[in-house]
Amino acid sequence: MPLPAHGPLAALDPGRCKCGLVRCDPARQQVLAALILEPEQALAQLRAWQAEGAVAGVVLGDGTGSRHWSQRLAPLLPLQLVDERRTTLEARRRFWQLFPPRGWRRLLPEGLRQPPGPWDDVVAQLLLERHLGHPLSRPPSLPPAAF
């Protein structure tokens, strides 16, 4: 089932131990939630959002594990697979755009900077941005997710 043209979407970067999960607003301009969860918790969160009417569909990275997740999510929500190639490097750049480096990290060349923690939520955001074709903003009150 194709994704609806309007309404809030979620994006999932699936992993074996942890998953990045984001949800955008109905206008598809801003990230409202950004999480890094264990796989079963990510599925439970998607189910909760679906029950609340907080998501109209989900974007899923097409990498490792996507078939398993597609089978689990297809009965729940409309689903769209998105090319996951080069997301790690792009998400690292996107992390520093969203959360500019401070302190000594500012002095490092961009290619040497590593985010201080996991950035699976930023990968999920990047997948959603790829699907939408434009960047999403994050309010300052929404820091990087922790795992």
Q: What is the pLDDT of residues 44-73, one digit of tens each?
A: 999 999 999 999 999 999 987 889 999 999
Angle at which helices 66-73 and 39-52 cross, to 10°: 30
Domain assignment present for residue 22? The answer is yes
Q: Are 118 and 147 in contact (CB under 8 A)?
A: yes
Q: What is the pTM of this model?
A: 0.92
Domain that holds residue 80: 9-85+120-132
Q: Which of 79-88, 109-118, 125-134 has the lowest mean pLDDT?
A: 109-118
Q: What is the mean pLDDT of the chain?
A: 93
User: Is the predicted pLDDT of residue 118 greater than 90, yes or no?
Assistant: yes
How many distinct structural domains can be found in the chain? 1
CA–CA gap between residue 55 and residue 120 (Å, rounded)? 19
CATH assignment of the domain containing 64:
3.30.420.140
E-only strand ranges, 1-147? 9-13, 19-24, 31-37, 57-61, 79-82
CA–CA gap between residue 112 and residue 8 (Å, rounded)? 35
